[in-house]
Structure 1
């Protein structure tokens, strides 16, 4: 019967850890008497794998299910014109793609990284955002106190596998974007100049730049209502607002 088939597939979809016997039992509780073999056949015909395989919680499933309360952080490096190697620490929200530049330094000491963690917690509290998880790699620049501070804020640190950067792909992708759109096009003089450029890019990224990963929305600003008036479209007056000397461009309607 079609209604039973639909219900079996619904139970399988809504409860990935249930096997055909568990689904069969739930049907009996609902007063629906069918053979367990019938449930197995329905799942098989729909190309749904056995429960042990469906129950395996993959990393991708974890990222999707926890996206709203998930942060990721990482260090990346850049070099100034004077040859000084600078280390930048960034954090990104998985769901909204909001980026936070925690700082840049030539000497990422344990004290500096620990203070960055404290600043992050205060910033999250000001934004009324609670993160349950933060993903980071096993970089030795992260001291134990970094994890302890996050744990005190009820944020569990999740370590990526050894040399598996794709486990932190969201922040890795952002770093590539930052290099392509900013750092590869800018001559950085010193730490002060680097921080200024990064703050400008942080504002641009969070407020103006559309993101394909969130259906071309912006982390801190929703998309406007689409223009439907043909007359208004035919008389568009779009102005450019350059940032960082034209390295970044924002466009908006003339007032």
Structure 2
């Protein structure tokens, strides 16, 4: 009777401490009660199952606790590289470095060494005295017997940008200078017979408005002078005119330009005439790449229609999402725009 009870108890203990337990600690404790042969056989079975999984699952998903357990267990055996199957040894070393960085980052942060009252005082000083810097606030705190470093003061100062400054940034400065500046450029288009045509464009930089667009097969000096004459009727021209070093800008063109000051872009620097270059890119991407051109008349009609769309309907980021023809109109407030959209 006693022998049967011991056998039953032994079976129950084996069942309670079975190796298939999903809890790592329980599995380790159960291994302490098993023989060396059982462990070797179990390792062989687990290794064979891992080989099967490796053939089916290329990238197993591991959680952060899984990574921590693998790093922790690898420190207790010299054969940890041979024991890894679902990850590479370099991956385990990388996890260890990341865990080390996380540990020291949390340890270095720690708790603040200054009181909440001092932090509130720094923020109040910075808010009430917007012209004070971190060093000035630090000096005022020293008068009160509070010793803190400049870096500590900077950490707790508000990060809000100062408003009401009389200065202007570079973007505003360049936009102000764009008034009275025109630019011109050429682009090449091929028709269905692979004939080459030139599209000449004149743009006002401030508003991005296309002043003049014409097509030709032979851009001679006289032809270009005529285009400038048509773009500036009754003497209405810009103060500065940006162009490249194309040889066709010759005597006739210069005679028509008269008092207009020409600004030549450097060699091989298309970004120096970025406004026209962007228009040429838009003309190709949005129009010419989708149309088969027949001849110069067809090309002129297409270029004119696209120029009308570009000036009247196409919004431009460079002018705050406005159209060139409506550049000087007062923009609607966001609230009014939302109401119009709701209607």
Q: Determine if the TM-score, normalized by the shorter chain, exceeds 0.5.
A: yes
The alpha carbon displacement at 1:147 in A equals 2.5
- Give the Cα–Cα distance (whole angstroms) in 1 for the partners of residues 330 and 289 of structure 2: 29
Matches within 5 A, 1:73-84: 73-84=184-195
CA deviations 1:8-51 (Å, max 9, x no partner) are xxxxxxxxxxxxxxxxxxxxxxxxxxxxxxxxxxxxxxxxxxxx
Query: Which residue is 2:278 aligned to?
Result: 173
SS at match of 1:220: helix
The alpha carbon displacement at 1:124 in A equals 7.0
Q: Which runs of 4+ in 1 moved over 6 A?
A: none
Query: Which residue is 2:242 aligned to?
Result: 135
- Give the Cα–Cα distance (whole angstroms) in 2 for the partners of residues 83 and 123 of structure 1: 38
1:118 maps onto 2:229 in alignment: yes
Say what the alpha-carbon RMSD is for the aligned residues.
2.6
1:161 maps onto 2:266 in alignment: yes
Question: Greater Rg, structure 1 or structure 2?
Answer: 2
**1:214 pairs with 319, 322, 327, which one?**
319
Matches within 5 A, 1:60-79: 64-79=175-190
* Paired residues, number: 171
Query: Which residue is 1:37 aligned to?
Result: none
Matches within 5 A, 1:3-22: none
The alpha carbon displacement at 1:223 in A equals 7.2
Unaligned runs of 5+ in 1: 1-5, 7-57, 236-255
1:88 maps onto 2:199 in alignment: yes
Tell me the TM-score normalised to structure 2 length. 0.46
Query: Which residue is 1:205 aligned to?
Result: 310
RCO higher in 1 or 2 (8 Å CA, sep ≥ 6)? Answer: 1
Would you say the 8 A contact 2:186–2:201 is kept in 1? yes
Which is richer in strand?
Answer: 1
Query: Which residue is 1:148 aligned to?
Result: 255
Query: Which residue is 1:187 aligned to?
Result: 292
Q: Does the C-alpha gap of structure 1 residues 63 and 104 become closer, same or farther in structure 2, counting only changes over 3 Å?
A: farther
Tell me the TM-score normalised to structure 1 length. 0.61
Unaligned runs of 5+ in 2: 1-130, 132-169
